[in-house]
Amino acid sequence: MKVKNRKVLLLLAFVFALLFSMSAAGVVMAENAPKIGFVDLNKIMRDSKAAKNARAIYQKDFESKKAALKEKGDKVANLEKDLKNTKQNSPGFKEKREKLAQEFKEFKRLESDFNEQLKKKDAELTQKILVDVQQILKQFSKNEKYSIIFEKKAALVVEDGFDVTDKIIKIYDAQKK
């Protein structure tokens, strides 16, 4: 009977030692496991104060250019109306038609320039925000010991605990005060 008890005690000691070593290994592995996060850049571009300020600047620029374009469009419309009220065989018809063609051409050029400038302005503002966010992400990952932070669009499914977007927005807004 003593031999059986001794075998049981040895078996129990072995099982406890095994369980203890497995749990200790799990803690060590958990400490060394890579920390992964996800960030939603679209949300940052939509919800951060800096992005909202950039959109306000863009909108102001857009409105001023739109007003200038509307003024030129109204001038073209008035010339077109005047041309329609002029008889084709009258002496000023050809001159009015040429003036309308020239103004319409300038209107289209102005419209094209306007669209190109707005696209460029939008790209510049977006690029500036992305550069700022990239710097914040680098510092955040270093401070919080993240091994890697992915763009949320790159993942099919992300648990809420892995999403660091709101933290990044908070840091970004604090920097831009």
Q: What are phi and psi of 138, to 5 degrees?
A: -60, -50
CATH fold for the domain made of 34-175: Protein Binding, DinI Protein; Chain A (3.30.910)
Question: pLDDT digits over 1-39, tens only?
Answer: 455 666 666 665 655 555 555 655 554 445 667 888 999
Tokens of 10: 């040895």
User: How far apart are the C-alpha atoms of 84 and 111, rounded to whole Å?
Assistant: 24
Tokens of 11: 């078996």
pLDDT for residue 94:
83
Question: pLDDT digits over 104-143, tens only?
Answer: 999 999 999 999 998 898 889 889 999 999 999 999 999 9
pLDDT for residue 58:
86
* Alpha-helix residue ranges (DSSP H) falling in 33-158: 41-47, 49-84, 93-144
The 10 Å CB-count burial string (b at 16+, else e) for 88-120 is eeeeeeeebeeebeebbeebeebeeebeeeeee
Neighbouring C-alpha atoms within 13 Å toward the C-beta of 55: 9
The model's confidence at residue 152, banded by pLDDT at 50, 70 and 90, is confident
Domain boundaries, the chain: 1-33, 34-175
Question: pLDDT digits over 67-107, tens only?
Answer: 889 998 998 888 888 878 878 777 788 888 888 889 899 99
Neighbouring C-alpha atoms within 13 Å toward the C-beta of 4: 1
pLDDT for residue 13:
60
